[in-house]
Amino acid sequence: MEFFNLHTHKWTNQPNVLELVNQYPQEFDATIPYYSVGIHPWFIVEERIEADLAIIESKLQEGNCLAVGECGLDKRIEIPMELQQMVFEKQLLLAQQYQKPVVIHCVAAFQELIAIKKKLNITVPMLIHGFSKNAQVAKQLLDNGFYVSFGKYLLLNKELEEVFKSVPDNRFFLETDTVKEGIEAVYELAAKYKGISVKEIQELVNNNFNTVFNQINR
């Protein structure tokens, strides 16, 4: 595996890239080779929660479902936090049951996120996708066992350079999410910021992939 894209909404079918494509229960595409599946907090439909969870549970039993998500908490939307938290917790318990990592969407709710992880005693890897906050928030997440993934905001915000450099080599991932740039561009910038080669970044990400997803290099 030359490149691993932790989180994208579009499968590009490149032979040298393993893409973890975000899927939603009601819009599932079985042709995508590797995916995560989850209920995004933006798209919680109260009367459909149990049906969505049943789909997620069935997919978690398939080998090419690598993770739960994206799921999480978002304080900047109108969906009540109590409902968001209930849906998130149910997905975390499924991830724990089936021993799958979790790709997390979190907006302005990092304290709640950490509290839920502790309350439910979640031991599977939890990965914050699209990280854009400061080094203090990153350290708090790392201290509580989370992994941090960089992509869109790393490309857009120069101030994230120091934050990215502060994250240990064994605790980060790279992604594209919704940007038009390919994962190679993210790897190049990450290598520049770390002061190492793209090949070395590839080795670091591959090691982290093998640790988190318990799989040999593809």
Q: Is 70 annotated as a binding residue?
A: yes
Quick one: which of 139, 87, 67, 153 has its CA closest to 110? 139
Which tokens hold the place of 7? 């989180």
**How far is residue 102's CA from residue 205's CA, in Å, rounded to a whole number?**
17
If you ran DSSP here, which 8-state letter would residue 177 be given? B
* Cα dihedral 189→195→200→203 (10° resolution): -70
**How far is residue 170's CA from residue 188's CA, in Å, rounded to a whole number?**
18
Q: Is 57 annotated as a binding residue?
A: no
Q: Is 105 annotated as a binding residue?
A: yes
Strand ranges inside the chain, DSSP E: 3-8, 17-23, 35-37, 65-74, 102-107, 126-128, 147-150, 172-174
Q: Is 161 annotated as a binding residue?
A: no
Binding-site residues for a divalent metal cation: 70, 105, 129, 177
Binding-site residues: 70, 105, 129, 177
